[in-house]
Amino acid sequence: MAEQPFDRIARDYEAIHEKSLPPGVHSEEFVRQKAETLAPLIVPEAGAEFDYLDFGCGNGRLFAALARHPRLRAALETGRLRFFGYDPSGESITAAREIVAPLPVRLASRLEEFPPQARFDLVVSCNVFHHIASAERPQAVERLRGLLKPAGRVLIWEHNPFNPFARIVVRACPFDRGAVLLSLAEASALFARARLRRVAHAYVNVVPPGWRRFPGATRLERGLSRHPLGAQYWALFVRDA
């Protein structure tokens, strides 16, 4: 397999990311924020399994954060919550195996390594699409749609190109060089063409995620979540048919 760009930084990802952030802002805070946002969406029905795929899982830190979340622990321990992670970077998958151990996570650098019938209740793709060439994004979205169960959902998390701080951080981050940011409107149109309907979204990180421990910062974030001011956004899409 040809070397992937993230192969070279897989084991140093967190340290490199940390250097691109302002003093006092830490990479792990963004991972915890994502886990807190995702946990309420992971709800196994009684007697059923919930299949979760991280599309572009990198070194697997998000799996570890989700596994620590109290509302998910029982479902994970009983096998009702099943974690899958895909990343084309083989080195990232190797690093993920070390980070997620001993969690029951099935990891692969090719989607074909998963069972042919594998379909997912929730597919998450965090900070991935700005690394996909614009011309290749429609095909990527169609691929995500094909991985969903009926009524399955996709959540993407991206940088907000209208936020000047986001653009500064992206320019400062070595592994974001050449990235082409996409707005919420562009992402929504892209997914709509693949018959994936947006059902929720929020702009986040008006303030750094670590500041959310302060009540005033939390209220500010929530009050501005519908306005394109935050450094990032997430959007949730559903497959209707």
The pLDDT value recorded for residue 97 is 95
The pLDDT value recorded for residue 174 is 83
The pLDDT value recorded for residue 195 is 97
Instruction: State whether residue 183 is helix, strand or coil.
Output: coil
Q: Are β-strands 50-55 and 120-126 bridged in parallel, bridged antiparallel, or unpaired?
A: parallel
Q: What is the pTM of this model?
A: 0.93
Which CATH number is 5-239's, of 3.40.50.150, 3.30.70.260, 3.90.400.10, 3.40.120.10?
3.40.50.150
Q: How far apart are CA 146 and CA 140, in angstroms?
A: 10
The pLDDT value recorded for residue 46 is 67
The alpha-helical segments, DSSP class H, found in 101-194 are 137-146, 164-172, 184-193
The pLDDT value recorded for residue 69 is 94
Q: How far apart are CA 237 and CA 201, in angstroms?
A: 9
Tokens matching residue 186? 């562009």
Per run of 10 residues, the mean pLDDT along the chain (length 241 residues) is: 69 83 88 96 84 96 95 91 96 94 94 95 97 96 97 97 93 86 98 98 93 86 94 96 68
Q: How far apart are CA 111 and CA 118, in angstroms?
A: 10
In the DSSP assignment, the letter for residue 49 is: -
